[in-house]
Structure 1
Amino acid sequence: MASQGRVEAATKGRGFWPCPKQATYTPGTCELLRAMMKESKLTKFQQRHIMDTMKRDLEKEKRRLQNILATGKDKEERKRKPPPVQREDPAPELDRFEELVREIQERKEFLADMEALGQGRQYRGIILAEISQKLREMEDIDRQRSEDLSKALAST
């Protein structure tokens, strides 16, 4: 029986997992593949994924070898990705003071929304504490900027 040559996998495949249609395997190879998959206790999805991947890899390898025979060179060797280009102008730095103003506004809007839903009491203390913290940070930034400005004016 082995002298009959290779058998088209799709015509002789049994059960749920016939071998890929494009590749030809001997019946023994197909049986071995099925047995290995059954032993590994893979789900049907995992088995299908493996078979699809094998089929794609074989097709890719076929095309690569055909290209080598036709041109004498491996197409993959010629394809090189250019190095990534560095961005010339970095994103502008956001002013921390402006960020704090936006954050306070967002918290005020959130508190207003919660009060409209009747849950303002639950969030009022937390939100006011956060706003107070942001205001203190803004005061520190303002104080630091004032000191820097007075030093700059004194040195001129």
Structure 2
Amino acid sequence: MADIKDPENTILIELKDGQVVVELMPDVAPEHAARMKELAREGAYDGVVFHRVIDGFMAQTGDVANGNADKDFNLRRAGTGGSSKPDLSAEFSKLPHDRGTIGAARSANPNSANSQFFINFKDNHFLNGQYTVYGRVIEGMEHVDAITRGEPPADPDKMISVKVAADA
């Protein structure tokens, strides 16, 4: 079991193969960490698919508007939406996009992150300083590695549930 130091800033993501434990970094990206906790507590991420999974790069999810496989799922539109909350300003830092880090997905506008995020399969340092890093996988990376690939995958995996550890 993961050594959870701060349950209020730890996210538990249940995938088909097991649990992924994410340590948020509110000291580095407070708005992004707060948004992930807010959406997790609302249940907004539950059932949302990984709509863009590129082997050797990353797995992207979090389109709460279009990507819920249990509700209004639209694979053609998955990845084009966010939440009803306002977009977040970039919170760039010196943290590198290493394997297992969580990055905020966005459009070409650096201040357009909302609910979507990606998990790096490997060190992707070409993203450094361009996308907000606000968490890292501390356990369960083997489950992330097992996510079905595709843009979009023909039969995408989903986040079964996403919870704040303090609430679990």
- Give the alignment's TM-score, normalised by structure 2: 0.20
Of structures 1 and 2, the larger Rg is shown by 1
**If each structure's helix is expressed as a fraction of its own residues, which one has the higher value?**
1
**If each structure's strand is expressed as a fraction of its own residues, which one has the higher value?**
2
Higher RCO (C-alpha under 8 Å, 6+ residues apart): 2
